[in-house]
Chain A
C-alpha cells in the first residue's frame, strides 16, 4: 500500500491529461467555481479572503485578444464611455454566483443585483432544501426497512419523525448555504445590490426604485419559477408547488404528484418515506420520461412499484381544485391525446411538479428589442442574447434557467463561467453534453450525455456504430457491504474511437459517481485511456471502472500517449 501511494509522487513526468489533449477549455481547471449550489464554499469559509485573492491573482492571465473589444464594438445607441462596473449580473442565484466569483478571479469589477434573496431557487426553494428532506427520507426508509436492518444484524425499534424538526432541518440548511454564498461574494468584493433589476438599454441597468448603473457587460441570470399549467388552482396548502412542499408544512395521507420528472420523483421519495401514499399523474405514456428507458424501467421497479405509489400515464390534469368546503382536492384527468375526460381523483393534496417557467417578466427586454420565446430569452451557443431580428445584442448575455438551455443549477454556473471567459478575451463554448444531472432518490439516478435511443439516432444519422456496456451494483463489494446491491450503470459509446456518448447510473450514490464520466466527456478522454486509470478498492467507483473496462473499443483506436505514461 505504502509503495502504491508514493509511486505517483516519485514519477514527476506525469502530465495532466487536459494539457496534453490541448484542450482550450480552461473552465474545468477551476473547479472551485463550478460548485453545484455553492456547497463547497463552506470548505473555504475559514480561509482568509485576502489569501484567497492573492492566490487567484496569481492565476489571472493577461488576456491577449479582446480585452477592450466589448466597449468599442457596441454601436447600438450611445454607450457610456466609462462604466460603473466591468460586469453586472442580474440575479444572485447559483448561476449568478458562479459567474460573479469567476469574474472576480479574472479581475473584473463585478456587481450582482438581487430582488429577492441571495441563492435563488436552488438554495432557497430547490436543490438545497430538498436534499435536506431527502437525507431524512433516506434514513427513514432505511430504519423502516426491517428486512434491510435484519440483514445487518441490527435491531431498531419503530422509527418515527417530527415533521417540524424535519422542516427546520431543510430551512436551516438553506439559511446556512445562503449565508455562505453571500459571504463568499462579499469577501471577494462583489457588490451585492438589492432591488429588482432590469435592462434599461445597452450596457445600462436599473435596480431598485431608480438606481441606474452601467457596465461593460451584463449577464441576465434571473432563473425560473414553478410552472403551473392552466386549470390548476394553487392555494399553497392542499394544491402546492415545490416552493411550498419544501417547507413541509404538512405530510398529507395521500398526495397526487403531477409530473414524474426529477422534482416529482424526489418528492415521491420524501413523501412515501414519511408515510404518505402517492399517485403520479404523467402526461406522457411512460413514467420518468427523459431518463434512459432502461434506467427508468429499473427505477420504476425500485422506486415506484414496491412503494405505496400508483400512477396514471398519458393523462393531463386539466383541472385541480384545492380542498375546501369539506371536500377533498379534486383532480380532473383527461386523455393526453383525445382530451376526453378519463377520471376524477379525490386526494388530500396535489403537488404540481410539471417543470419550471423562466422568470423574465419586467426585465426591460423591450429596451434592447429582445422577444422572449415562451418566456425564455433566446441565446446563441455562447449565451449571447439574440434580439427580435435574430441579431446578437452586444454585451448582453443570459445564463441559466432563464435561457432554458439546460435547467440545472450547475449548468447555469458553468454557463456563467463560460461567459466570463469570453468577456475576458478567451473564446469559450460550453459543451452541454458534458453536464451531469442527478435525481436524489434512494437509490440515486444520475446521467450525463445522450440516452441510448438518442445515441442510436445520432449514430444512424452520422454513420457511426453505437455500443452499450453495462455493469451491476450487485457485483460491487462496497455496494454489497452496504446491502445496497440494487442498481446498474450503463455507458453508451462509440466502439470505433472510444468516445463516451453517455453514461447513466442508477444505484447507491449514483450522483457522486457520475463525475468521472462527465469529466471524461468534458475533457474528451477516450475509453481506451480512462480504462487504465486505477480506482481504490473497495469503492463504489469501481462500478464505473468496470464500465470502462467492459467497453469493447475496436483495435485501431489506439490509446493516447497520456495513458501510456499513466500506465508505465
Chain B
C-alpha cells in the first residue's frame, strides 16, 4: 500500500506548480499496480513529504482510471487531519473509495469541489503542516484554481457541458479562419481524449467529416503520434493545416465505413521505415529457372536428420556467393563497394503480425547439419522475440521463400544495407524438352534476385544465378 500510495503524491513544494504537473505527467505512463482485486473497501493514503504545503493529488484507484470525481469531502477546509484519516471520497471508473491522509496536518484548501472531476495526478486539495500556513495555502489554491480551471476541472456528472462552451472561451484562431462563428463539433472519443490530455477542444482544428474534431485531431494537437515508437508526427500537422471545410476532400481519403485503424507495432514500424528507405536504392531483377529434382531427392534423404529446405537453400546461396563476392557486397555511401568478409544469409520469416530476418552466419562455411540446427534455434528465438540484434541485422544477403504457399515467382524488395535479395518460388513439375527433343517432366523452381545496380550489374547477377543453379542441380556438394 505504501508503495502504491507514493505514486500519487506530491513530493514537490507548492511554489512550483508547473513542475508538479510535469511530475504527474512523467508518472502516468508507468503502470500502476492494480488495486482492483482485493481491496475495493480498503482505504488509500495520501502521503506528503517534508514540505510545508503539499498537494493532495487525485489518486489512481485502478489501472484504468484516468480521472476521478470527488463524491464528497469528508473534511472541511481548515480542519485538522490525523494520519490515516479519510479526507475525501473519490469516484473512479470502478467504485467510490475513501482517500486518507498519510501525514498529519490541516486541510488548507479544497481545489476541486464536490461533484467535480479531475484527471489522475491533478491537485484536488492542499495540505498545510501547521495552522499558520493555511492562509498561505489558500492563496496558492485561489491562484491555482483560477489558472487550472480551463485545463482540468469541469463538472461532469451529466457531461451535457459538451456544448459550445469551450469554443466561446477561446476564439480559436484556426476555426475562425474557416467559416466564421462555426459551432465546435467533436466526437465523443475526441472529447474524452481532449480531457485526458488537457487539450482545449475549442482550439483544435477539425479535419473529420463535416469539419468535426476527431480523436486523431486531438491526438495531433496534443502532440501524440497515433502510432507507437515513431516520434516525428509531421503528417497529422500537415493535415491540420488543411482548411476544415465541410465538403472538401482531405489529402488522405476518408476511411470507408466499417474500416478500423490499427497502429503499427514497433516491429511493423521498423519494417515500414526500412521499406521507405529502400526506395532510394536503384534496383533491378533477374529471374532464373532452377531444376530441383536432385535437390528434392537430397532433401528427402536428409530431412530425417533435421535438415530443412531453408538450410539447403541458404547453404546453396552461401556457396554461390562465395564465388561471386560482389553479390555479397553492399554500397554504403554511393561511392564505393563494401565487400563483406563473411557470408551471412538473412532469411525472411513471418511471425505473427510482422516480419523478421534471422541471420545464418557464415552460411558458406558451416555444414548443412549445423546450419539446420542453428536455423531451428533462430526461429525459436524469433518466435519468442528473443533474437539479439546481431542475430537479425548482420545479414549480407537475404533469402525469401514463399514456395511453401505455392507461389511460383515473386519479386522481393532489397533491404537497405545489402546488395541483393533472392526470392524463391515453389518447385513445380514442368514439362521440358531436352536437347534431343525428348519431353520430360522435371521439377522446376523460379528464383528471382533483386540487386543494387550501383554495385551489382546484370552479368554479375546472371553469373551468380548460374552458379546457384548448378549447385542446386548437383547438390551433393552441399553435404560435403
Contact = CB atoms under 8 A, between A and B. Distances in A.
B191 interface: yes
A254 B247 CA distance: 17
Contacts of A486: 94
B93 A305 contact: yes
A158 B262 contact: yes
Contacts of A348: 209
Interface stretch (B43-51, B154-162, B434-442): B154-162
Interface in A49-92: none
A253 B187 contact: yes
Given A250-B257, A305-B93, A308-B189, A346 B210 contact: yes
Interface in A241-260: 250-254
Contacts of B257: 163, 250-253
B353 interface: yes
A545 interface: no
Nearest to B385: A155
B188 A278 contact: yes
A524 interface: no
Contacts of A485: 36-37
Of listed B63, B163, B183, B188, residue having the most chain A CB within 10 A: B188
A39 B342 CA distance: 68
Contacts of B63: 147
B158 A308 contact: no
A366 interface: no
Interface string A308-339: 11111111000000000011100000000000
B127 to A, nearest CB: 28
B280 interface: no
Contacts of B160: 312-315, 342
Contacts of B185: 345-346
B247 A474 contact: no
A499 B180 CA distance: 65
B258 interface: yes
Contacts, number: 83
Contacts of A275: 258, 260
B125 to A, nearest CB: 23
A410 to B, nearest CB: 33
A480 to B, nearest CB: 8
A251 B258 contact: yes
Contacts of B212: 254, 346
B159 A158 contact: no
B352 interface: yes
A342 to B, nearest CB: 7
Interface SS of B by simple majority: loop
A474 B40 contact: yes
Contacts of A472: 40
B192 interface: yes
A157 B353 contact: yes
A306 B64 contact: yes
Contacts of B158: 285, 311-314
Given A251-B257, A306-B64, A311 B353 contact: no
Given A328-B209, A474-B37, A310 B352 contact: no
Of listed A278, A285, A310, A348, residue having the most chain B CB within 10 A: A310
Contacts of A158: 262, 353
B106 to A, nearest CB: 33
A393 B191 CA distance: 57
Nearest to A151: B34
Contacts of A274: 258
Contacts of B95: 301
Given A285-B158, A346-B210, A250 B353 contact: no
Interface string A256-295: 0000000000000000001101110000010000000000
Contacts of B352: 155, 157
B353 A308 contact: no
Interface in B170-204: 183, 185, 187-189, 191-192
Of listed A251, A253, A305, A308, residue having the most chain B CB within 10 A: A253
B246 interface: yes
Interface string B246-261: 1100000001011010
Nearest to B63: A147
A311 B158 CA distance: 8
Contacts of A362: none
Contacts of B215: 308
A251 B258 CA distance: 5
B68 to A, nearest CB: 11
Contacts of A161: 258
A310 B188 contact: yes
A416 B89 CA distance: 50
A74 B93 CA distance: 61
Contact of B187 (A254, A313, A315): A254
Contacts of A24: none
A137 to B, nearest CB: 14
Nearest to B188: A310
Contacts of B37: 474, 480, 485
Interface in B51-101: 63-64, 93-95
B159 A342 contact: no
A537 to B, nearest CB: 20
A308 B192 contact: yes
A461 B426 CA distance: 83
Contacts of B247: 326
A274 B183 CA distance: 28
A233 interface: no
7 contacts: A251-B258, A252-B257, A279-B188, A301-B94, A310-B162, A344-B183, A486-B94
Given A254-B187, A344-B183, 18 more contacts: A155-B352, A158-B353, A161-B258, A252-B257, A254-B188, A275-B258, A277-B189, A301-B93, A308-B187, A309-B188, A313-B160, A314-B160, A328-B210, A343-B163, A346-B210, A348-B209, A474-B36, A474-B37
Interface of B: 36-37, 40, 63-64, 93-95, 158-160, 162-163, 183, 185, 187-189, 191-192, 208-210, 212, 215, 246-247, 255, 257-258, 260, 262, 352-353
The 3 closest A-B CB pairs, nearest first, are A310-B188, A308-B189, A157-B353
